[in-house]
Amino acid sequence: MTNETLDRRKALTYLGALGGVIGLGGAQALLAGTAPAGPAASPMAKVPWPYVPLDPDTAAQRAFVAYGRGHCMYGSFEAIVGTTAERLGAPYTAFPFDMFVYGMGGVRGWGTLCGALNGAAAAVQLLSANPEPVIDALFRWYEGAHLPDFDPKGRKFPNVQSVAGSPLCHASIAQWCEASGKRAYSKEREERCGVLAASVTRKCVELLNLQATGKALPAAAAGARTKACMGCHEKGGALENMRTKMDCDACHTDAALDAKGHPKVQI
């Protein structure tokens, strides 16, 4: 019997338990706006849900297509969990994927966390028993990789790579616009973010597969300069006025120091 068969049976067992919950009064509780408590609570309310290794390229292509329906965060999450749904069926197939449209453009255009990373991290949280090292490896890779690095079927424009230096949407787009000479609201940039969602999805699936098969994940250590900064500004440091794992150079430069020699924020 294969691991996939076992995982599918586990998922179906959870679904059967969920059906029993509804039959024993769960439906009335949901209609009343409250969740059933105690032993009657749905087992699917807890994570992680079962995961089986996926094909990274298949998931990446799916993310590119899904981006056209709901943008970056939707694209990466739907590709990972949607592909899992094709393997394991319910309850994955009933997931409200449209909720992740909010992550477009770094959360409704605010340019904060890259939506592709946001969706991938949500999928990791749902499917991994130990999500932090997967997310750490994914984000650190994103900071320093030349992206996009996937060539999906159906693309219209030539690929232009850039290094974001940051997990933030606005930094990623700014770096790409400088490298490509295109504008942030161009059709080329729009497609680029779809291809980027595909790249992030492929990398995320590769990392999930490594973890699921018991293999070591790539190191996600910060660079020497960032480590030096964190030695003062992070937990246990003299200032301890910051909480982050991001590379400091994305927002701070040696060209602008304050009176104490600390880099100023560059906006």
Residue 249's pLDDT band (boundaries 50, 70, 90)? Answer: confident
Q: What percent of the chain has pLDDT over 70?
A: 76
* Per-residue pLDDT, 259: 61
For 106-144, write each residue's pLDDT tens digit.
999 999 999 999 999 999 999 999 999 999 999 999 999
Q: Which of 99, 148, 151 is nearest to 122 (CA)?
A: 99
Would you call 264 helix, strand, or coil by DSSP? strand
* Per-residue pLDDT, 179: 98
Query: Residues 169, 105: contact at Cβ < 8 Å?
Result: yes
> Of residues 84 and 233, which shows the higher confidence score?
84
235 pLDDT higher than 90:
no
Residue 21's pLDDT band (boundaries 50, 70, 90)? Answer: very low
Torsion (CA) 31, 32, 36, 40 in degrees, nearest 10:
-50
Q: How much is the pTM?
A: 0.80
Say which range, 22-36, 137-151, 222-236, has the weakest mean pLDDT: 22-36
Burial class (CB in 10 A: 0-12, 13-18, 19+), 267: exposed
For 199-230, write each residue's pLDDT tens digit.
999 999 999 999 999 999 998 777 767 767 77
* Per-residue pLDDT, 76: 98
Distance CA 166, CA 139 (A): 8
16 pLDDT higher than 50:
no
Alpha helices in 89-168 (DSSP H): 115-127, 131-144
Q: What percent of the chain has pLDDT over 90?
A: 62
Distance CA 155, CA 67 (A): 12
Mean pLDDT to the nearest integer, 82-87: 94
**Mean pLDDT, rounded, of the chain:** 84
* Per-residue pLDDT, 6: 46
Residue 15's pLDDT band (boundaries 50, 70, 90)? Answer: very low
How far CA 138 is from CA of 104, 143, 144, 148, 224, in Å, comes to 19, 9, 10, 14, 19
Report the relative pairing of strands 263-265 and 252-257 from DSSP bridges: antiparallel
Mean pLDDT to the nearest integer, 168-185: 98
Residue 44's pLDDT band (boundaries 50, 70, 90)? Answer: confident
